[in-house]
Structure 1
Amino acid sequence: MPAELIRDPLGTVVSLPGHEPFSLDLSDLPNLLLAADLVEGLAGSVHPNGPLTKPSSVRSFESSLRRMVRDFTKDGFTGSAADLTRAALISYWLRSHYLVEYRTRQMLRALETGRPVLTEPVRQMVFGVNFTRPAPHRPLAAYQPAEWQRLVAACRDDIRLHWGRHQEMTALAEAGRDPAHAGWSDQNGAWLMARLGPASAEAVASHVGLTRSAFEKRYGGIRHLRSALFPSNLQAAPYLLLMGAWTGIVPDGLAGIGLGDIQWSGRQAMLLNYTKGRTAEESLVLSPRASALLHQWLQHSALLRRHAPSELRDRVWIATNSQVRICPTYAGDWVLRRWVANHGLSGENGEPLSIDRRRLRTTFIAQRGQRQWSLRATIDPNHSPQVEGDHYLEPATPAQRAVVEEIISDAQADLLRRATAPAVVDEATTAAALPDEVQRLGLGGEALAELMSGQRDVFTAACSDLLAGLHGPKGKPCPARPWVCLLCPLAVFAPRHLPNLLRLKGYFARQFRAMPREQFAVVFAPYAHRLSSQILPRFPEPAVTAAQGEVRDRDDELPLRAEELTQGGAGR
């Protein structure tokens, strides 16, 4: 059973997936008849029978349950749920917060579903629509660039500090001996702590045959040893913050990761599976820096994991709490506020920086949108472009609808232009193919003569209309880079362009060797494919071979900008 009702004393024991069982004691409430019915409804609302999947959610329902019982008792109500009236519930819900009404409705619905006790008028109202509505919610704002930089820098500095201390103390422990025989020192103390785990001062003092007070008076404390060997919640906080900042994974998704959810997908990248509460299981290929950070945390917590109980050993995020016990890592408000205070972090307003881990995802998405070329208008920075397009993008006015339709029309026309076969002319095919190309391009006799004589040549091809505005302002010379002509429907390729086409082919080969494959696929692959598969094969092999002799395979043969030069072709 996910939740078991206990009537004497009144309470419940809750078992949620991935969490330790816990109990709630409600025997102190004034009206135990109503409380017992609501506790039964609370038990029926726990996953998988209801929506409650987290201990925090169950405790929030407990709080609303207590409030309802006490408020009804103040109003003179002494009966059970079967004695509730529509007037009493309406009066209570209208003066209550939205969440109080939602939670108490849910408990009454679960009670009625499992054991019908409500009168028919009350039952119809309980399963009806809420009287109150949630307050308007403003989307979480991304952190300001300066705040973000300070937060990331503080995380990296803190991680570097604690990781260095951990490595030093681990090496010290390997060279130590049992302090019960060899005497107490930091080296021998580290040796003992590595074998005992995050032990208390009493346990360490007992091992060396002293009381705690005598041990601390003679040798001092062991907190510095324990802190260096076993990460605490404060030491785990920067790891969690930086993982959220570098991956965009929601806080509950990070907290629930197990060792079995991590798979290596290369030398520097990990495939991480996690659960997002509102969707389901998701997976993400981590960047090299996020993979390195997660790998370092696994090393940092490896010694602690050896001493963890079996139910925690497979969790990625474990730490020691203030009671020196091993527990799931907790990064709640008080931990983050203390961490911020320790590092003196401040926001743009000069106040201590307020850290909301959900805003890490918001900032991650906002920065990702800035790194990639995008013209999308931000509806909510917490949504990805796909989510906004699927659920929120709807033209509201005729003018907006016209703009969207024009964008769609332009995109479709661009796809059709790219699908058009390139115009390649030579002595063998000109007579048969040129009339069709002239009609497609809409050229007159004078323009055709200029095109064939080379007067309209650009670097890669002959352009039938340099002022058409396909890649820039209409009426202005085309600003496109040389390789863009390979996909342009206005380009005409003749044998005299073969040397430059082969120079571009060599340039693509150098870029393929220098760039990551994913980046090359986005930037140059469409042009390289068109050149190799549709343009060069249309020319006779002797002409291609003859043109190859004019190519030196160097960057200075092409009109490139400084940032477009390749290391392999820089021989000048």
Structure 2
Amino acid sequence: MQQAALAGEDISPLAFRIELPDRPSVLVDLTDAKCPLLAREVAETIRSMARVGRRIASPGTVQAYVQVARNLDAFFADRVEDPTTWTAGQITPEDLSDFETWLYETMPTPRTSYAMLTQAVAVLRDIRDARPEALSPALHDRLMFVGLRPRPHFGNPVDAYPPQVAAALRDACRSHIREAVRRLATEADASVATGEDPLTGGWGRWENVLWYLDRHGPISRKELMSHRTRRPGMGPQCWDGRHFELHYGVFPSSEDMTALYLLLILTTGLEPESALELSVDCLKNPTRGYVEIEYVKRRRHGKEVNRMRVRDGGLGTAGGLIRLALRLTRRARAHAWDDSKTALWIYWHSNGVRIGGGVRHFRPRDIAVAFCERHDLRDEDGERLTVHLRRLRKTYKAEFYRITKGQLPLLARGHSMEVAASHYADIPALRPLHEAAVADGLSHALQEAIQLRVIPPQREGQLKQDTTAAAKELDVAPGEAKKLLNGEMDLWLSSCRDFFNSPFGTTGQACPVPFWSCLDCSNAVITSRKLPAVLAYLDHLEDQRQAMPAGAFDLAHGRTRERILTQILPAFPEPVLAEARAIAEATRPLENLPPLLGGIGSRQ
């Protein structure tokens, strides 16, 4: 009896079905496992992880974990002497490391190997949490991390759509929705109101057929053509070729729902799978132009209910889009199948006499192919646009990131800061924004680093009386400070603390840059003696500003002009500036420059 228990004959079955809420059941069959005890432990763990609210929440995930169980079985079957007695408690850290190496050698891509390893570690962690004594103590420490190898690079990240492509997609969705509103609300309401029972009024009138569809639901072409009326000239023969048009007169099409679905994701940034599972009662707590969208995020702790606060109003708001979807599906919902009545996205299926949708049947990615072809949507390369649902969410995130000027905490709504940075901020579409931010930062850092020494007249007089204080403030030797203040080291736009020790050149050699670079040099000292030249040069810059394109001027002279206006001129009182302007106009300092040194010429 004890030996049978150790053999694990009654621990758990090797073949069973996993029932998932709102999803098809999945068969788990490990009866051909060569390590039956290990397979039973893994199978029981998979069944436990598939409970509501836990890690496994979809048929595809179940199948992925079953494949992990098969890989573990295949690895240990070839490694151990007696596979029939092998259990998870015998796995050592070295075994798990060897299994990692084996995966990278046998799987087709490093990405597949890493995914398999992650799921295998998740299974062992679940066994550890449920039964700590089932695993060796040494393995507990090893399960604190996934693998020994670095995480493989998974290729280029999913990028956002360019602004022009996103704008074209939005315009197409809005145009299609307006047409759907005209067809399903304005015209349908009028037609149904004026129609009557076709069994008495005849099937020949459009309004009568729509009245029948509104009351009794979809009708097959065969059933429609089988109706007869005693009144001559009122037969249904004329509706044979308009069977689709009749139903779309009162019931939404799959493209109608797809247009609303795509626009909702572009408006809210909701996860595509979460938007697909929205229900008719997803709107909660409407107040003051806002409403909460209640949705399920299956990737978070298995199946977690979240809420997103959004604007509520017209077609341009998320709340308005969902209310419009409810309005357009009102007639269809009365005749929908029971499993689709609570789903937000339902429509008439043209391949059958039924109304359905929801998670089981609504496939917006496939329907979007015909939608893009109908509206002639093109991507950034001019090719037919292919709608990738993940790119829609990235597009919303990228636009939100631009509007908020790169505020990462605001972008991290619904996930961690790390995910926001790596998955939504670090994408090619936002690279120009980041490069511009780096350039602005460097520019500001340069402006902060280059602090011109601007000395007003009063301070200049004080420093002339105190050579020690002048030397300390100007960061030169006392003898050099006296020469600076007496004008013996003057250049054209400024005085220079050390002409042969320029930050732009080699120590011991003369400064190699043109005169206007003095205003961007840490060696420059501006006193009232240099104001006439500075003002004359500012006049020249203003002339150039009028003659040059704005972008070219900002690149060539924008920083110098801003420095004069914000750092130099405000340091001097108005009487001193007025005197300097008079001197500049009288002496024309620009005429004293050789043309080859500046090419400025004389002021006219």
What TM-score results when the alignment is normalised by the length of structure 2? Answer: 0.52
* 2:153 aligned with 1:136: yes
Q: Say if 2:12 and 2:44, in contact at 8 Å, map to a contact too.
A: no
Matching residue of 1:364 = 396
Question: Of 336, 345, 356, which residue of structure 2 is paired with 1:326?
Answer: 356
Q: How far 1:300 moved relative to its partner? A: 0.5
Contact 1:248 1:360 in 2 (8 A): yes
Report the equivalent of 1:15.
Answer: 20
Q: 1:193 aligns with which of 213, 220, 235?
A: 213
Please tell me the residue identity of whatever aligns with 2:283.
I
Distance 2:419 2:74 in 1: 45
Contact 1:232 1:319 in 2 (8 A): yes
Match of 2:589 in 1: none
CA deviation profile, 1:287-317 (whole Å, cap 9, x unmatched): 5421433322211011122233555434433
Counterparts in 2 of 1:316 and 1:332: CA distance versus 1, 3 Å? closer
Distance 1:108 1:246, change over 3 A: same
Q: Is the Cα–Cα contact under 8 Å of residues 320 and 326 in structure 1 kept in the other structure?
A: yes
Tell me if structure 2 keeps the 8 A contact 1:365–1:384.
Answer: no
For the residue of structure 1 that corresponds to 2:357, the secondary structure is: strand
Q: Secondary structure at the match of 1:143?
A: coil
Cα deviation digits, residues 198-252 of structure 1 (max 9, x gap): 455566567779xxxx999983463333334322433211111111222233324
Deviations 1:423-478 (A, max 9, x none): xxxxxxxxxxxxxxxxxxxxxxxxxxxxxxxxxxxxxxxxxxxxxx9xx8345679
Residue number in structure 1 paired with 2:43: 39
Residues 41 and 110 in structure 1, CA contact (< 8 A), matched pair in contact too: yes
* Partners of 1:42 and 1:61 within 8 A in 2: yes
Q: CA deviation at 1:345?
A: 1.6
Give the corresponding residue for 1:247.
Answer: 268
For 2:252, the equivalent position in structure 1 comes to 231
Q: Does 1:257 align with 2:275?
A: no
**Contact 2:295 2:307 (8 Å CA) reproduced:** yes
- The structural deviation recorded for 1:146 is 1.5
Code of the aligned partner of 1:102 = T
Q: CA deviation at 1:337?
A: 3.1
Q: Residue 298 and residue 30 in structure 1: after superposition, are their counterparts in 2 closer, same or farther (change >3 A)?
A: same
Q: CA deviation at 1:197?
A: 2.9
Helix, strand or coil for the counterpart of 1:260?
Answer: coil
TM-aligned CA deviation for residue 184 of structure 1:
2.9
CA contact (8 A) 1:258 1:316 kept: yes
Q: Choose from 52, 56, 62 the match for 1:58.
A: 62
Show CA shifts across 1:347-393 (max 9, x none).
Answer: 11122323233333333343345445x4x4x8899657997699979
Letter in 2 for 1:247: T
| CA–CA separation in structure 2 for the residues paired with 1:387 and 1:7 | 38
Distance 1:7 1:26, change over 3 A: same
Structure 1 residues 335 and 60, CA, compared in 2 at 3 Å: closer, same or farther? farther
Cα–Cα, structure 1 residues 335 and 122, in superposed 2: closer, same or farther, change >3 Å? farther
The one-letter code sitting in structure 2 at the alignment partner of 1:46 is: A
**Identical-pair percentage:** 19
| 2:14–2:30 CA contact under 8 A, matched in 1 | no
Displacement of 1:80 after TM fit? 7.7
| Rounded Cα–Cα distance in structure 2 between residues aligned with 1:172 and 1:189 | 9
Answer with 181-190 or 60-69: which moved more: 60-69
Measure, in 2, the Cα distance between the counterparts of 1:390 and 1:73. Answer: 38
Give the CA deviation at 1:23.
1.4
> Which of 305, 317, 336 is matched with 2:345 structurally?
317
1:338-487 to 2 correspondence within 5 Å?
338-371=370-403, 374=405, 376=406, 383=412, 473-475=566-568
Alignment partners' CA distance in 1, 2:265 and 2:23? 28
Aligned residues of 2:49 and 2:55 also touching (Cα < 8 A): yes
Contact 1:170 1:190 in 2 (8 A): no
- Give the partner amino acid of 1:254: A
Deviates more, 1:46-55 or 1:66-75: 66-75
Deviations 1:127-181 (A, max 9, x none): 4533355433555433212111211111112212223222324432343344445
1:175 maps onto 2:204 in alignment: no
How far is the alpha carbon of 1:105 from its aligned partner? 3.5
CA distance in 2: counterparts of 1:26 and 1:385, whole angstroms: 33
Contact 2:221–2:240 under 8 Å retained in 1: no
CA contact (8 A) 1:366 1:381 kept: no
**Secondary structure of 2:334's aligned partner:** helix
Distance 2:11 2:189 in 1: 48
CA distance in 2, matches of 1:126, 1:206: 72
Q: Secondary structure at the match of 2:87?
A: helix
Quote the Cα distance in structure 1 between the aligned partners of 2:388 and 2:410: 15
Which secondary structure does the structure 2 equivalent of 1:346 belong to?
Answer: coil
Q: How far apart are the structure 2 equivalents of 1:49 and 1:145?
A: 38
Q: Would you say the 8 A contact 1:340–1:353 is kept in 2?
A: yes
Q: 1:133 to 1:181 in 2, by over 3 A?
A: farther
Gaps of 5+ in 1: 394-399, 411-468, 479-572
Counterparts of 1:390 and 1:347, CA distance in 2: 27
Q: Deviations over 1:11-52 (max 9, x none)?
A: 313233xxx252112449743846655432221112447312
Deviations 1:295-345 (A, max 9, x none): 222110111222335554344333455554413163453233343233332
Q: Deviations over 1:93-137 (max 9, x none)?
A: 344421122223434544566579977499659845333554335
Structure 2 residue corresponding to 1:336, chosen from 345, 355, 368: 368
* Alignment match of 1:282 (pick from 280, 300, 307): 307
| Secondary structure class of the residue paired with 2:372 | helix
Q: Is the 8 A contact 1:173 1:191 kept in 2?
A: yes
Query: Which residue in 1 is equivalent to 2:164?
Result: 146
Structure 2 letter corresponding to 1:31:
A
Alignment partner for residue 325 of structure 2, among 268, 279, 297? Answer: 297
RMSD: 5.0
Task: Tell me the distance in 1 between the aligned counterparts of 2:78 and 2:238.
Answer: 56
CA contact (8 A) 2:210 2:249 kept: no
Contact 1:6 1:12 (C-alpha < 8 Å) held by counterparts: no
Residue 184 (structure 1) aligned to one of 188, 196, 203? 203
Aligned residue in 2 for 1:566: none
Does the Cα contact within 8 Å between 1:41 and 1:106 map onto a contact in 2? no
Distance in 2, Cα, partners of 1:80 & 1:233: 54
Find the residue that maps to 1:234 and give its secondary structure.
helix
Q: Which moved more, 1:29-38 or 1:311-320?
A: 29-38
> Residues 133 and 299 of structure 1: is their aligned pair in 2 closer, same or farther, counting only changes over 3 Å?
farther
Query: Match of 2:387, SS?
Result: coil
Aligned AA (1:297): A
